[in-house]
């Protein structure tokens, strides 16, 4: 797929800017705090309706404005699509595809696919499980847009169940409380199982691809394993058993949950384990080795999306080239070639060799222009 144009209005530090992409590779060059990452973030929002930098739409809307608009024209094998996203300070959004307002956000997802790789992704290895869940969920949203709906449903039930637990925290554990909670338990287990099953399938597909990339970048001595570990046994693809296990575990933890006023069991507590030669990657090796791992994950994401969607996604590289050594840079650049439309940010063009510079469109970014 090919992003032809992007139009930003009152988005972050962009007042109004039209961008035409005239080559498969675009380099955005500029000093710090000029708007390079903001532009990538706009593309990321069109692809996932999420930003990895903020959860609040009011951060995205330009200061003193009420709404921001991101529009794009995208060429796919099936034809040209126009995407239009309106973000409001109060969080309400309008999604519009080919001139038609969509009622469901999931119908907007999956039109533009993109893999984002920024220095923040290094936290996938070093940081806590929440970041890895967010990463996997963002990938899943693109692989199967209905997942956005499944995840939203789960979180809604989780919020309501947590509110219920808080309201009743001081009360005695009576039969009526027990039976009311049982209703929430069933709902949470049903919605939770859908999340777990999809995360499991995604990891099953992603893990061997990432392992292969990792072996190729690191020189094959190191074995990367990605293991999905929810807090119930997976029971070999058996949804009813997963659901039953979730229910049982919820019931075991009820007293503790009422005490803490929060749900302690479910996919919001999942872990995705990254190990190299059976050692947790976080404890393993140098920063360089951790970067290799993240690079392998990102290349695997690209490949998996391409396989599932049937077209190469966009690649958004935010300031990461400088973080990789020359051999890993080359590995990445060789993979991209002209296969994946790539938008790269940098503070200086010196990081690129002449072949790369000659074949790229170079855009200078200064104060949101």
Residue 331 contact, options Mg ion, ligand ATP, none, Cβ 5-8 Å cut-off depending on partner type: none
Query: CA 368 to CA 255: how far, in whole Å?
Result: 53
Please report the beta strands in the chain, taking only residues with DSSP state E, as ranges in sequence order.
2-11, 14-20, 25-29, 67-76, 79-88, 93-97, 100-101, 114-118, 224-229, 271-276, 279-280, 314-318, 342-346, 361-364
Query: 305 or 365, CB closer to Mg ion?
Result: 365
192, 267 in Cβ contact below 8 A?
yes
Under the criterion CB under 6 A, does residue 35 sit at the interface with ligand ATP? yes
Q: How many CB atoms lie within 10 A of CB 216?
A: 13
Under the criterion CB under 6 A, does residue 344 sit at the interface with ligand ATP? no
Cα torsion for 242, 243, 245, 248, to the nearest 10°? 180
Region binding ligand ATP by CB under 6 A among candidate stretches 55-63, 82-90, 125-133, 266-274: 55-63
Under the criterion CB under 6 A, does residue 303 sit at the interface with ligand ATP? no
Among the listed residues 3, 8, 34, 290, the single contact to ligand ATP using CB under 6 A: 34
Report, in Å, the least distance between residue 28 CB and Mg ion: 9
Under the criterion CB under 6 A, does residue 30 sit at the interface with ligand ATP? yes
For residue 113, say whether it is annotated as part of any ligand binding site. Answer: no
Nearest Cα neighbor of 129 from 294, 268, 281 is: 268
For residue 204, say whether it is annotated as part of any ligand binding site. Answer: no
Query: CA 106 to CA 103: how far, in whole Å?
Result: 9
Under the criterion CB under 6 A, does residue 329 sit at the interface with ligand ATP? no
Under the criterion CB under 6 A, does residue 275 sit at the interface with ligand ATP? no
Tell me the per-residue interface mask from 56 to 75 with ligand ATP, x by CB under 6 A, - otherwise: ---x-xxx------------
**For binding to ligand ATP (CB under 6 A), which residues are involved?**
12-13, 30, 32-38, 59, 61-63, 319, 345, 347, 365
């Amino acid at each position: 797929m090919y992003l032809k144009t992007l139009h930003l209005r009152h988005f972050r530090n962009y007042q109004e800017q039209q961008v035409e992409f005239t080559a498969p590779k675009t380099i955005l060059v500029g000093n710090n705090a000029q708007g390079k990452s903001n532009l990538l973030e706009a593309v990321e929002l069109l692809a996932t309706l999420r930003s990895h930098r903020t959860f609040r739409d009011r951060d995205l809307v330009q200061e003193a404005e009420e709404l921001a608009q991101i529009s794009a024209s995208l060429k796919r094998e099936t034809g040209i699509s126009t995407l239009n996203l309106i973000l409001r300070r109060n969080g309400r959004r309008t999604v519009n595809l080919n001139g038609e307002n969509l009622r469901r956000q999931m119908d907007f997802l999956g039109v533009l696919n993109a893999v984002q790789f920024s220095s923040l992704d290094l936290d996938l290895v070093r940081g806590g499980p929440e970041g890895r869940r967010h990463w996997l969920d963002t990938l899943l949203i693109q692989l199967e847009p209905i997942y956005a709906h499944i995840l939203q449903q789960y979180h809604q039930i989780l919020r309501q169940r947590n509110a219920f637990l808080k309201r009743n925290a001081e009360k005695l554990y009576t039969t009526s409380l027990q039976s009311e909670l049982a209703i929430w338990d069933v709902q949470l287990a049903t919605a939770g199982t859908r999340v777990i099953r999809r995360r499991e399938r995604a990891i099953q597909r992603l893990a061997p691809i990432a392992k292969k990339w990792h072996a190729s970048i690191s020189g094959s001595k190191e074995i990367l394993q990605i293991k999905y570990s929810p807090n119930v046994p997976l029971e070999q693809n058996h949804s009813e058993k997963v659901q039953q296990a979730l229910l049982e575990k919820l019931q075991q933890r009820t007293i503790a949950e009422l005490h803490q006023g929060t749900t302690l069991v479910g996919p919001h507590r999942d872990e995705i384990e990254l190990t190299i030669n059976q050692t947790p990657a976080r404890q393993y090796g140098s920063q360089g080795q951790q970067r290799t791992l993240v690079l392998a994950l990102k290349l695997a994401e690209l490949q998996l999306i391409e396989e599932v969607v049937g077209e190469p996604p966009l690649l958004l590289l935010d300031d990461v080239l400088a973080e990789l050594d020359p051999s890993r840079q080359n590995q990445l650049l060789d993979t991209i070639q002209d296969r994946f439309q790539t938008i790269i940010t940098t503070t200086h063009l010196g990081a690129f060799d002449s072949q790369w510079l000659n074949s790229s469109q170079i855009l200078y970014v200064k104060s949101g222009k």
